[in-house]
Structure 1
């Protein structure tokens, strides 16, 4: 039984290491040489537009993600790290949890659509915060489901 719990914990540690590593990699361009900056930015280009005007800058050099994606990636790390705290909530929601997960994309969509439709302007704070909300909810939801599946498969019981 202890071995099974250890396996579940290892999955959690692995998810935390992966999300933290990807976030750290995205933040590296300001401390890299120009050729390495290009390699990192190219790696993130398929998932982020990386517009310099909408990206965090360190020492005048933009990171490899825009504001919203930075919020999402930070949220992914926080969501995985805080999985245990949200497990009771996801347990209470049961099958309805997927609607909370899908609902977390609504603020991101509104923040994106407002300026596009000339209804309002958004800024770095709204982009980061809406991304952060989505990242936390998405990572928590997916991590709890993965850990529960691993726990059932190994007979460990897993997070509540």
Structure 2
């Protein structure tokens, strides 16, 4: 009975992760003979984003937008290069570019959102001052 429940839980997790991850067996980590619900790239993204949280707790600042943008670009460049046949893809590179995307892509998104909210709130404040 427990193995049936475990198998059902594993199938449910695989199905949920399959909504946003290709889960190709040759591009996914395997542990104890079972394929991970996330491929190497998605595993990197999943670890990179929380790593940003630890960075924020330690340094209390986001990396610069320029640095974040440039390092986050490694993932799409790797994908495009592999599609065009410029280099063979490897799981280690997929994991690293995923982690860079998770960390620096999230940082860039937070920076852009914060700047947009700051401009919006600053604009509202200046409009209120002009109205008085």
Change over 3 Å in CA distance of 1:140–1:87 after alignment to 2: farther
CA RMSD in angstroms comes to 2.6
d(CA) in 2 for partners of 1:89, 1:48: 27
User: Aligned equivalents of 2:109 and 2:19: distance in 1?
Assistant: 22
C-alpha distance in 1 between matches for 2:92 and 2:14: 22
- Partner residue of 1:130 out of 90, 97, 105: 97
Matched, 1:36 2:3: no
CA distance in 1, matches of 2:83, 2:57: 38
Q: Report which of the two structures shows the higher radius of gyration computed on alpha carbons.
A: 2
**How many Å separate the matches in 2 of 1:140 and 1:88?**
10
In the aligned structure 2, how far is the partner of 1:143 from the partner of 1:84? 15
Alignment of 1:1-160 (within 5 A): 33-88=6-61, 90=63, 93=64, 97=65, 99-141=66-108
**Matched residue, 1:17:** none
Q: CA deviation at 1:86?
A: 4.7
What stretches of structure 1 of length at least 5 have no aligned partner? 1-31, 150-160
Higher relative contact order (CA 8 A, sep 6+): 1
State the secondary structure of the residue aligned to 1:49. coil
Q: TM-score, normalised by structure 1?
A: 0.59
User: Partner of 2:103: helix, strand, or coil?
Assistant: helix
Structure 1 runs, 4 residues or longer, greater than 6 Å off: none
Cα drift, residue 62 of structure 1: 1.1
Distance 2:59 2:92 in 1: 25
Kindly indicate whether the alpha-carbon contact (under 8 Å) linking 2:62 and 2:107 is maintained by their aligned counterparts in 1: no
Q: TM-score, normalised by structure 2?
A: 0.70
**Partners in 2 of 1:108 and 1:44 — Cα distance?**
20
What CA distance in whole angstroms lies between the structure 2 residues aligned with 1:60 and 1:123? Answer: 20
